[in-house]
Amino acid sequence: MLIDTHCHFDFDAFESDRAQLLAAAAAHGVTRLINPAIDLETGARALRLAAHYDGIYATAGFHPNSTADYTPSLLAEIEAQAAQPKIVAIGEIGLDYHWDKSPKAQQWRAFEDQLALAARLGLPVIIHNREASEDVLSILSAWQPSLTPEQRERIGVLHSFSAPPEIAERALALGFYLGFTGPITYKKADDLREVAARVPLDRLLIETDAPFLTPQQHRGARNTPAYVRYVAERLAALHNIPYVEMATLTTRNAERLFNLPAE
């Protein structure tokens, strides 16, 4: 069985055929997915999906590109969503210096506030990092010592990892998991594959980030939860282990990090 640990299944791209896509995913062994929030509206939609489908879990939080109008008063609303059933993390949160959608100061403020909230609630975090590795690691390094030993065991994941090896090493040293998506299958992604091959097996997660980042096998089309198997297959090859073993390992990792019931 597989778990897609990052899929924006609430997005309009899936409005017409969600049930069919879940059935197709299950036929390929993908029985659960985590739907991350990027703001309050998507958080509410993710919660509705989680209430409707047994295999869907949700998160609460503000994506860095959604923080232009962020104020600390919104933390109470994030916390209210985080108190609902099937919420498994605060996320996706972090920094994004690629798009000019929110000032850096706003991104930092929202990131640090939400990290503090996650610590207070005892929830792991899903971290978005785009062209901001040094600042992301600086903030996480300052925050990590505030956590209890138990929280550090379930600290969070750097989602859709694409940074250099030294960033991976620093994140792993803090206790983070690394999530890999479709780009690990791309023809010119040798550097990313080198990083993934060095990640300890107990710190690997598989993701689609659907409807984005479609694996090479279907590149150019909409990504779907079923395609997370291609990420697992490539990781299995990189680590020289059978696909079934990689599927089992990444599922157990996801269950441990997000406190999911074992299957």
What integer best gives the mean pLDDT of the chain? 98
Q: Crossing angle, helix 133-143 and helix 104-121, to 10 degrees?
A: 30
Q: How far does Cα 248 stand from its chain's mean position?
A: 18
Max Cα–Cα distance, the chain, nearest Å: 49
Domain for residue 263, yes or no? no
pLDDT in tens, 8-63: 999 999 999 999 999 999 999 999 999 999 999 999 999 999 999 999 999 999 99
CA 148 to chain centre: 22
Question: How far is it, in rounded angstroms, from Cα 257 to Cα 170?
Answer: 18
Q: How confident is the model at residue 189, as a pLDDT?
A: 98
Residue 201 lies in a domain: yes
Please indicate, yes or no, if residue 142 is contained in any of the structural domains. yes
CA distance 9 to 68: 24
Q: Which domain holds residue 129?
A: 2-258
Residue position matching structure tokens 């089309």? 221
- Comparing CA positions, the residue from 224, 257, 232, 231 lying closest to residue 9 is 224
Dihedral-angle region of residue 104 (phi above 0 means left; psi in -120 to 50 means alpha; beta otherwise): alpha
pLDDT (0 to 100) of residue 204? 98
Q: How far apart are CA 215 and CA 219, in angstroms?
A: 6
State the total domains in the chain: 1
Given this model, what pLDDT does residue 263 score?
A: 83
**CATH, residue 11:** 3.20.20.140
Contacts of 232 (CB under 8 A, 6+ apart): 2, 206, 243, 246, 247, 250
The pLDDT value given to residue 70: 95
Which of the residues in the chain have pLDDT under 70? none
